[in-house]
Structure formats: structure tokens, C-alpha cells
Amino acid sequence: MNAPEPIRLDGSVLEGGGQLLRIAVALSALLSKPIAIDNIRANREPPGLKQQHAAGLRLAAEICSARLDGCDTGSCSIVFCPTTKPQLSRCYTADPGTAGSIALLLQVSLPCLIFSPNPSAPPSGLILRGGTNATQAPQIDYTEHVFLPFVRKHLGVQPTLSVVKRGYYPKGGGEVHVSVPPARGPLPAITLTERGPVKAVFGRSYAAGLPKSLAESMRAAATKVLVESGLDPDMIKIDTVREKPADAVGSGSGIVLWAETEGGCIIAGSALGRKGTEPAKVGRDAARELAANLAHGGCVDEYMQDQMIIFLALAAGRSKVKTGPLTLHTRTAIWVAEQLTEAKFRAEESAESAIIECEGIGYTS
């Protein structure tokens, strides 16, 4: 019997970056649908695969024994043809050899590993190397304190994450271990429309290979902005950390903030230190991002907004989530999900917020 023709996707659609690639490959692996993607990262300079994208593709291909063509740095076209369902209860390793984002490696692999015909099967394992706190990607602290709590609370899956070593630009060298037990049946639909008031703000302000005073300056500036935005100073608890040399590769700094609400929502803001940028500005940038994400009244922040789309598409039944204004990343995620699944999305938008509804496919392995 002839193999089915790959579904062709244009990688330049909408956001035209790596996110389109990650969602498409994860859905291809789960649904055993071969795909071909052209014009990869056409809206980036330079276009084509970077080493971190190639590492994510190789990881997904290993999980589902896919035939993978075009997986070279700079390639603008790939073909990904799964030959098996994802192979679970194993340990997989990925390493781009750069400071490429570990969080993005997890984005492509986690959906592949949470569905098993045997819900009592042992967990799958991931050993992911690269950058823990990279530019143009979620910091690993966001993954740990915002993304994974969302997955555990709303999807009934209980992954755990351990940061073994921090890795900073340009060397990378970080290492994160993730354990992924299988879901018990299809993912439940999510209804999340009432956020409730903020009850606490937590944070991690850090410096590695740099004076701790940078972390303290970021924390002080962030706290000042948050108090000026109307938050009670007694509810703000931001830790300052200077990484031990044995716990980090390279030098870097940054801050991640997350607000927990009485409705069980977690909303974040973050910023990375940059050479020539005052640490106080980094702290203010992170706090202003958090304040902006709180101001729209949504139940998820702008980063969780697009990361949840693949799970809404796979869930059983109708999901309904209140968010801030739709981002281009979210529109791209919805487009990819509708190309590869029968999920149906609808967004009701206003100037300040949106309601995302999705009739999911109730995917089971």
C-alpha cells in the first residue's frame, strides 16, 4: 500500500517562525499524519532551521520513529513522516549544542509523550540541554512556575521538572530533566473565564557569573513598578539569587515574575539582562509586562495563550478561555491546529480581551 502524501504547510503563514514548526510536528507525531513544511521561519533573519529547531525535530522524530528529510541548519523545507505512534516509557535526550532554548525543546516533545493506551505505564523521561534562560523564548522559570502548573491543574497530567544546571548565552550547557507520566484518557476541556483578584506575586531575580547586586537592583525596580500599579507590597515575594559557579555555565541575569489569583490563574512577566542595559530597567520591563498582562483581565498571559492551543485542540469537548487580545503566535497556533485536526476554534474579540472557544477532537492513543 502506498504511503499517504504529506500534508503541505506554508511555514511563512502569519507569525512565520519556529512555533508553527513545533506545533505541526507534535500533531504529526500524535496523529501519524506525514507533513511537509516549506518556507520555514520565512519571517526571521536569517530564515530556515537553526540548530535548536533541528534538535527539536530530531527529538520528535526519535519519539515516533519518523522519517525526517531536510533537517539541516539553514534548511527551509522539511518532510516529517511518522512510522509509529509515540514510543513512551523511555528516556530521550536532545542537545542543540548551543544556547538554544530548552523550553522550546519541551514544547515540541511534551504533547507527544502524554498520551498512552496504558495510563499506568511508567513515565517517559527527557534530558534536555541548551539554554535555560534564552532570548525570544520562555525562560525555564516560566515553564516551571506557569506552564507546568497550568498543565497539571487543567489537563490532569502531572509532569515534573528539575533544573540540574543553568546555561546562558552564548555557551548554553544547561541541563533540565523532565518526567512525563501518561494522561488518564483524553484531556478534559478547559473552562477558564473568571480570574479573581491577585492574592500574591512571586518572582526569581537572578545573576550568574555577575554580582548579586544586579539581582537586587532588578528586584527593587520591579517591586516599585508593581506597587505603583496598585498591588499591595506585602503580597510581593521576589527571591534574589546569585548562581553558584558549579550550578551554571556562562554568565547572565534576568527576572521572572508570576502573580497567582484567587481564581487559580497564574499570570507572568519576565525580562533578560543585556549588556549595556541597566538592571533596574530589566526589573521595570518585567514588572510592566506583568502589569499589562494583569490589566486585560484574562485568565492566561500572552505566552500561555498560544501554548495552550494544541491542548485545547486535542481535548474532549468544548473549551472556553478568557485571554488578553489575541497574539500573532496564537493565531498561528490556531491555524496549524485547524490544518491538521478536526478541531474548530472561535474567538470573540474586543479591544482589551478575547474569549477563545474550541471544540476539541478528544484525542486518545
Query: What is the residue-wise DSSP string for 333-364?
Result: HHHHHHHHS--EEEEEE-SS-EEEEEEEE---
Note if the bond before 170 is cis, omega within 30 degrees.
Answer: yes
How would you classify residue 173: left for phi > 0, otherwise alpha for psi between -120 and 50, otherwise beta?
A: left
Q: Give the residue among 323, 324, 310, 321 at the shortest CA–CA distance from 360.
A: 310
Q: Check if the beta carbon of residue 115 is closer than 8 Å to that of residue 157.
A: no
CA atoms of 290 and 295, how far apart (whole Å): 9
> Is 306 annotated as belonging to a binding site?
yes
3-state helix, strand, coil in the chain (%, to 5): 35, 30, 40
Q: Check if the beta carbon of residue 256 is closer than 8 Å to that of residue 286.
A: yes
Of 145, 154, 296, 329, the active-site residue reads: 329
How many CB atoms within 10 Å of residue 129?
24
> Is 307 annotated as belonging to a binding site?
yes
Q: Which three cell numbers stand for residue 365?
A: 492513543
CA atoms of 359 and 318, how far apart (whole Å): 4
Q: List CB contacts of 194: < 8 A, sequence separation 6 or more.
A: 263, 299, 322
Q: Check if the beta carbon of residue 163 is closer than 8 Å to that of residue 129.
A: no
Beta bridge partners of 267: 259
> Is 304 annotated as belonging to a binding site?
yes
Based on the residue annotation, tell me whether 329 is a catalytic residue of this protein: yes
> Is 303 annotated as belonging to a binding site?
yes
The one-letter code for the residue type at 244 is K
Matching residue, cell 488518564: 184
CA atoms of 337 and 332, how far apart (whole Å): 9
* Binding-site annotation, residues: 107, 303-307
Give catalytic residue positions: 329
* Binding-site annotation, residues for ATP: 107, 303-307
